[in-house]
C-alpha cells in the first residue's frame, strides 16, 4: 500500500502480498489508540500492519463529545498529573493538526446550589490553566451574572451567579483518527478496515493472526513478532480470542449525544453545564446545529454492536437542556439525530462508571500480546508512546518517539497562525469556479490542505456538486467502500444534515458504482443500508 492508493481497488493483491511478510507489529483496532500506535511504530521504522473489523473510528473514537480538552473534571478527583499531561497533549495536537483542532471559549455557568461555587471555580480554572500550560491571553475569566447573560442570552437567569470562561478545543474525532492513519501510510504502514480478527496463535515467538475480509468474503493470514490489542470496548473479546485466561478487565459506560438544529438551541459558545442530578453536560454549536451530551451509564450488552439512545437517555438530556436554558421547551421531535458511544473503562469493583478513572492501563498476556485499554481521546499520543516504547524494547531496538513533531495529513502548509488566511484562499478558489462556499468552515476543517484536490475535481468539470467531489476523493484516498461510512464518518452529514441524505445519495451513488465497479443490485443494497441506519439514529425506543 502507498499513500497514493489508499483504496479498495488493489485491496486483494495488497492483502496477498502482506500474507508473505513477517511484520514487526500487528495492531488490532482502528480507533484513535490503534491509529496512534500505527503512526508511532511505523515512524520509528517498524514494519506495521493494522486490522480493523469495521470502519476506522467506527467504535468509541467516532462517538465522543468531539473535544480535545484538558480534563477539568479530573481536578475533582485530584488527578493533577493527568490534567498536566492532557493539557500538554492538547497543545501538541493543535500544532500538528491545526485544521482539525478548533480553539473555542467554553462557558461554565455558576448557579446557586450548583456543582461549583464562584470562588471554587476561579481556583479550579486557575489550577487548570497552570497545569495545562494555557497561554496567558487564553486564560480563564470569571464573569458576574450580568456579563454571563451578555455572553450567552439563552441561559436560565434564575439562580445564576456568574460563569467561568475558559479555553477548550473542538475536533472531529473520526477525521482525526483517519488522518493519523493516513499519515502513518507515509511511513509505509499497512492499515485495513473491514478485516476482523478470527484467531490468534503463537508459535516459535511468532504471532499468527487470521482475519476475515467482510467486503470480499475472504480469509487472510498474517504473521508478526509483536501483537497489540487496541480494540477499546472489545478488549476482553480479543483477549479471549488470544486464549487469555484472566478475569475481565473492562467495563463499559454508555454515552449519548443528541443533535438539534441550532435555531432550537441557539447558543453562541460551547456551554458546560449542570444536569439536574449534578452531572455535567456539554452543549456544542457546530455545522448549523447544536449537539448536547453526554450520559454515563453502565452498558452490559456488548453483543449489540450498535448501541443506541433510548427514551430514558433522551429524556435525561432534554431535561438537562430545559433546566439550564431559557428557550422554548425542547421535545423529542426537536432531535434530528444522535450518536451513542461506549467508553472502555478499567473495571473497579463497587464504583459507578462516572466514578472510574479515565487512566489507561497495559495488560500483558502470557504469550506477550499487549492490550491497552482506558484513556481519553486527548491522550492518544502518550498511550501510543507507552505501547511502542515497550514494543521497541521487546525487539531490542532503540528508536525514540518523535510523533510530537509529525504534521498530520491535511495540515500541510497550515499552522496555528495562518489558518484564517488559508481558509480565505480556499474561499476565493471556490468562488472562481462559481461554487457556493456556505459550507467553507466544514470543508476546511474536514479536509484542510486536501481541499485542493476536491477543488481540482470540481474544476475538471467532472462534478457539479461538492458532495460528488468529496465522495470521489474519499473513495480514492481514504479507503472508503460504503456510502454509510461516507455520510457517517468521512463527512458527518448523517449527524448534522440528515434531511439531505436522500438527495445526496442520488448524487454520489453513481460515483461509488463507477469507481468501485459495483452493479445496480450492490449499490441498491448499500443505499438501503445507509437509509436503515439513518432511521435508527432517530428511531428511539424503550429498549
Answer yes or no: are the C-beta atoms of 49 and 23 closer than 8 Å. yes
Q: Give the pLDDT band (50/70/90) at residue 541.
A: low
Average pLDDT of the chain is 90
Residue 294: asked if its preceding bond is cis (omega within 30°), the reply is yes
Evaluate if residue 176 carries a pLDDT over 90: yes
Spans of all domains in the chain: 11-60+174-249+360-405, 101-170+253-355, 419-538
Superfamily holding 11-60+174-249+360-405: FAD/NAD(P)-binding domain (3.50.50.60)
> What grid cell was written down for 51?
486490522
Instruction: Encode burial over 281-317: b for 16+ CB neighbours within 10 A, e otherwise.
Output: bbbbbbbebbbbbbbbbebeeeeeeebbbbeebbebb
Cα(224)–Cα(458) distance, rounded to whole angstroms? 43
Place of cell 475569566: 141
DSSP string, 351-373: --GGGS---EEEEE-TT--EEEE
Closest CA to 372 of 381, 382, 364, 362: 362
Compute the average pLDDT of residues 225-234: 95
Q: What is the pLDDT of residues 425-463, one digit of tens each?
A: 998 888 887 766 568 889 999 999 999 999 999 888 788
Tell me how many degrees the CA angle 22-239-232 measures, rounded to the nearest 5.
95
Q: What is the pLDDT of residues 275-307, one digit of tens each?
A: 988 888 999 999 999 999 989 888 877 555 678
Common-topology check for domains 11-60+174-249+360-405 and 419-538: no
State the fold for domain 101-170+253-355: D-Amino Acid Oxidase; Chain A, domain 2 (3.30.9)
Q: Which of 30-34, 104-108, 535-539 has the lowest mean pLDDT?
A: 535-539
Residues 6 or more apart from 269 whose CB is under 8 A from it?
104, 105, 106, 107, 151, 152, 285
Compute the average pLDDT of residues 140-161: 95
Backbone angles phi, psi at 155, to 5 degrees: -70, 145
Evaluate if residue 2 carries a pLDDT over 60: no
Cα(86)–Cα(94) distance, rounded to whole angstroms? 12
DSSP-assigned beta bridge partners for residue 160: 111
Q: Which of 58-72, 253-267, 498-512 has the lowest mean pLDDT?
A: 58-72
Evaluate if residue 532 carries a pLDDT over 90: yes
CATH 3.40.190.10 applies to domain 419-538: no
Q: Give the pLDDT band (50/70/90) at residue 239.
A: very high
Q: Which of 62-66, 332-336, 348-352 has the lowest mean pLDDT?
A: 348-352
Give the pTM.
0.95
Q: Give the pLDDT band (50/70/90) at residue 354.
A: low
Evaluate if residue 38 carries a pLDDT over 90: yes
Q: Give the pLDDT band (50/70/90) at residue 5.
A: confident
Cα(458)–Cα(454) distance, rounded to whole angstroms? 6
pLDDT reported for residue 70: 65
Cα(59)–Cα(305) distance, rounded to whole angstroms? 9
Cα→Cα distances 276→113, 290, 313, 459, Å: 11, 20, 14, 52
Compute the average pLDDT of residues 98-123: 89
Residues 6 or more apart from 4 whose CB is under 8 A from it?
477
Compute the average pLDDT of residues 51-60: 96
Parallel/antiparallel/unpaired status of strands 48-51 and 22-28: parallel
Closest CA to 522 of 532, 510, 507: 510
Cα(273)–Cα(499) distance, rounded to whole angstroms? 29
Amino acid at each position: 500500500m502507498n499513500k497514493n492508493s489508499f483504496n479498495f481497488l488493489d485491496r486483494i493483491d495488497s492483502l496477498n502480498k502482506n500474507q508473505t511478510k513477517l511484520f514487526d507489529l500487528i495492531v488490532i483496532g482502528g480507533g484513535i489508540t490503534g491509529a496512534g500506535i500505527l503512526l508511532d511504530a511505523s515512524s520509528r521504522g517498524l514494519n506495521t500492519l493494522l486490522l480493523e473489523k469495521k470502519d476506522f473510528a467506527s467504535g468509541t473514537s467516532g462517538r465522543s463529545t468531539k473535544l480535545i480538552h484538558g480534563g477539568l473534571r479530573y481536578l475533582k478527583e485530584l488527578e493533577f498529573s493527568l490534567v498536566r499531561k492532557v493539557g500538554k497533549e492538547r497543545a501538541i495536537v493543535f500544532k500538528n493538526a491545526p485544521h482539525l483542532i478548533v480553539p473555542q471559549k467554553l462557558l461554565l455557568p455558576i448557579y446557586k446550589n450548583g456543582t461549583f461555587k464562584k470562588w471554587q471555580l476561579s481556583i479550579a480554572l486557575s489550577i487548570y490553566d497552570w497545569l495545562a500550560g494555557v497561554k496567558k491571553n487564553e486564560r480563564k475569566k470569571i464573569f458576574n451574572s450580568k456579563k454571563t447573560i451578555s455572553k450567552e442570552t439563552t441561559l436560565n437567569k434564575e439562580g445564576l451567579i456568574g460563569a467561568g470562561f475558559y479555553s477548550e478545543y473542538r475536533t472531529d474525532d473520526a477525521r482525526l483518527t483517519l488522518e493519523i492513519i493516513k499519515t502513518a501510510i507515509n511511513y509505509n504502514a499497512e492499515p485495513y478496515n473491514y478485516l476482523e480478527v478470527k484467531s490468534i496463535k503463537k508459535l516459535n515467538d511468532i504471532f499468527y493472526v487470521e482475519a476475515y475480509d467482510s467486503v470480499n468474503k475472504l480469509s487472510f493470514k498474517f504473521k508478526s513478532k509483536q501483537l497489540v490489542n487496541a480494540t477499546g470496548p472489545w478488549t476482553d473479546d480479543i483477549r479471549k480470542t488470544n486464549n487469555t485466561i484472566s478475569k475481565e478487565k473492562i467495563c463499559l459506560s454508555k454515552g449519548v449525544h443528541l443533535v438539534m438544529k441550532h435555531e432550537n438551541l441557539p447558543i453562541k459558545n460551547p456551554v458546560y453545564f449542570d444536569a439536574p442530578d449534578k452531572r455535567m453536560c456539554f452543549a456544542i454549536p457546530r455545522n448549523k446545529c447544536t449537539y448536547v451530551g453526554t450520559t454515563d451509564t453502565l452498558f452490559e450488552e456488548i453483543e449489540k454492536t450498535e448501541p443506541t439512545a433510548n427514551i430514558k437517555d433522551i429524556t435525561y438530556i432534554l431535561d438537562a437542556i430545559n433546566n439550564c436554558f431559557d428557550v422554548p421547551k425542547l421535545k423529542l421531535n426537536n432531535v434530528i439525530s444522535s450518536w451513542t458511544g461506549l467508553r472502555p473503562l478499567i473495571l473497579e469493583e463497587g464504583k459507578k462508571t462516572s466514578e472510574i478513572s479515565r487512566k489507561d492501563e497495559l495488560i500483558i498476556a502470557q504469550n506477550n500480546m499487549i492490550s491497552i485499554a482506558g484513556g481519553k481521546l486527548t491522550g492518544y499520543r502518550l498511550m501510543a508512546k507507552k505501547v511502542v516504547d515497550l514494543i521497541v524494547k521487546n525487539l531490542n531496538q532503540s528508536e525514540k518517539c518523535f510523533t510530537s513533531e509529525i504534521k498530520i495529513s491535511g495540515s500541510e502548509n497550515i499552522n496555528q497562525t495562518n489558518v484564517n488566511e488559508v481558509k480565505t484562499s480556499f474561499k476565493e478558489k471556490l468562488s472562481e469556479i462559481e461554487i457556493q462556499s456556505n459550507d467553507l468552515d466544514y470543508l476546511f476543517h474536514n479536509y484542510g490542505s486536501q481541499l485542493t484536490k476536491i477543488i481540482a475535481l470540481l474544476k475538471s468539470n467532472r462534478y457539479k456538486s461538492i458532495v460528488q467531489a468529496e465522495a470521489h476523493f474519499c473513495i480514492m484516498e481514504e479507503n472508503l467502500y460504503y456510502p454509510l461510512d461516507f455520510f457517517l464518518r468521512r463527512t458527518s452529514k448523517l449527524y448534522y444534515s440528515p434531511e439531505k441524505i436522500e438527495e445526496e445519495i442520488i448524487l454520489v451513488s453513481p460515483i461509488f458504482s463507477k469507481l468501485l465497479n459495483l452493479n445496480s443490485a450492490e449499490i441498491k443494497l448499500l443505499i438501503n443500508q445507509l437509509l436503515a441506519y439513518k432511521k435508527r439514529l432517530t428511531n428511539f425506543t424503550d429498549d
